[in-house]
Amino acid sequence: MTAATARAHANIALVKYWGKRDAALNLPAAGSLSLTLAALTTTTTVRFDPRLPRDELTLDGAAAPATRVSAWLDLVRARAGIDHRASVTSTNDFPTASGLASSASAYAALAVAATAAAGIQLDRGALSELARRGSGSAARSIFGGFVEMGVTRAAPVPNADGWDVRMVIAVVDGGVAKQISSRDAMDRCAASSPLYAAWLATVPGDLRAARAAIRAGDLDALGRVAQGSALAMHAAALATRPSIRYLRPTTLAVLDVVDQLDHAYFTIDAGPHVKVLTSPDRADDVADRLRAIHGVSHVLISGPGGPAHLVSPR
Ligand code: DP6
């Protein structure tokens, strides 16, 4: 069978996904809304091979455990009516060790490559559902630009004509704190945080406000929603028993600096890094300010990225 190679970009949620309503189908408890980022790319090649005894995964040049990918590949095998094992080779163009490595770009690229390699054709909505089974945020990376995750799949969000934004990413040296995967953290949060229900209640209104801001090209309105959503999610995580704390001292120092900048708004995911939404003309200045903060090891600027796509065969 032929090999297929696909490419997808990571995305950063402006209205967060944090909690599931069905773990087996990996269905989110609520919607979410993100921006796909050009600067963070995963390229993945899949080859189904009748000679392979088991699925094999190579991640950034090194052999990696294939259990989770293998369970996901079973979905593709079932749809395609094939039984062959596969070799999967995946590389990120951003340092995996930076903590920015994302299951979003990984499962979006994998969905496009694996279906092509298995000889099945799915529309983007069905690809988004398939990517979701691997990772909820991956459903959004099937599409480019602003993307909203709905009940089972994602779809693009129409934005104001000619409107452009930037995301400035400050990589924070997390140091001591043990990272908890977002999957484990959201499950624990849903099970024991007294603020989980309150967090979920913020999502519908934040989605409405974010959609309206994107339609109007209103950076300040979108930025305020994004900050509020991230802080509500982290408040629920902090109140989990025992507490889940992704925010490090340097993270808080970055937030203080962002508060002083005009037209710059932060968001934070399941790690210590800070992503700042701003306008194209302010991005360099924001990046310089973040670089000057002690404990920020690396800063990068990204514009919106396009959808996941097949690289070969074309
Ligand atoms: C904080 O998509 O990694 O980045 O569906 O369990 O794989 P699983 O979770 P995942 O969670 C992402 C959480 C987040 C917020 C977001 O991207 O919306």
User: Looking at ligand 1, which residue's alpha carbon is closest to its atom 6?
Assistant: 183
User: Looking at ligand 1, which residue's alpha carbon is closest to its atom 1?
Assistant: 269
Residue-wise pLDDT for 59-86, tens only, equals: 999 999 999 999 999 999 999 999 999 9
- Output the CA 147–ligand 1 centroid distance in Å: 14
Residue-wise pLDDT for 131-178, tens only, equals: 999 999 999 999 999 999 999 999 999 999 999 999 999 999 855 555
The number of residues making up the chain comes to 314
pTM tops 0.95: yes
- Output the CA 17–ligand 1 centroid distance in Å: 6
Q: Is 148 in the pocket of ligand 1 (CB under 6 A)?
A: no
Whether the predicted pLDDT of 57 surpasses 60: yes
- Output the CA 45–ligand 1 centroid distance in Å: 23
- Output the CA 195–ligand 1 centroid distance in Å: 18
Residue-wise pLDDT for 87-108, tens only, equals: 999 999 976 555 676 799 999 9
pLDDT value, residue 174: 59
Residue-wise pLDDT for 4-54, tens only, equals: 999 999 999 999 999 999 999 999 999 999 999 999 999 999 999 999 999
Q: Is 26 in the pocket of ligand 1 (CB under 6 A)?
A: yes
User: Looking at ligand 1, which residue's alpha carbon is closest to its atom 3?
Assistant: 182
Question: Rounded distance, CA 99 to CA 17, Å?
Answer: 18
User: Looking at ligand 1, which residue's alpha carbon is closest to its atom 8?
Assistant: 135
User: Looking at ligand 1, which residue's alpha carbon is closest to its atom 4?
Assistant: 269
User: Looking at ligand 1, which residue's alpha carbon is closest to its atom 5?
Assistant: 136
User: Looking at ligand 1, which residue's alpha carbon is closest to its atom 12?
Assistant: 137
Q: What is the mean pLDDT of the chain?
A: 95
Q: What average pLDDT does range 262-285 have in this prediction? A: 97
Q: What average pLDDT does range 245-255 have in this prediction? A: 96
Burial environment of residue 50 by CB neighbours within 10 A (0 to 12, 13 to 18, 19 or more) = exposed
- Output the CA 51–ligand 1 centroid distance in Å: 35
Q: Is 137 in the pocket of ligand 1 (CB under 6 A)?
A: yes
- Output the CA 136–ligand 1 centroid distance in Å: 6
Q: Specify the ligand 1 atom closest to the Cα of 149.
A: 18
pLDDT band at 253 (very low <50, low <70, confident <90, very high): very high
pLDDT value, residue 177: 53
Q: Is 182 in the pocket of ligand 1 (CB under 6 A)?
A: yes
Q: Specify the ligand 1 atom closest to the Cα of 104.
A: 2
pLDDT value, residue 197: 98
- Output the CA 215–ligand 1 centroid distance in Å: 25
- Output the CA 52–ligand 1 centroid distance in Å: 32
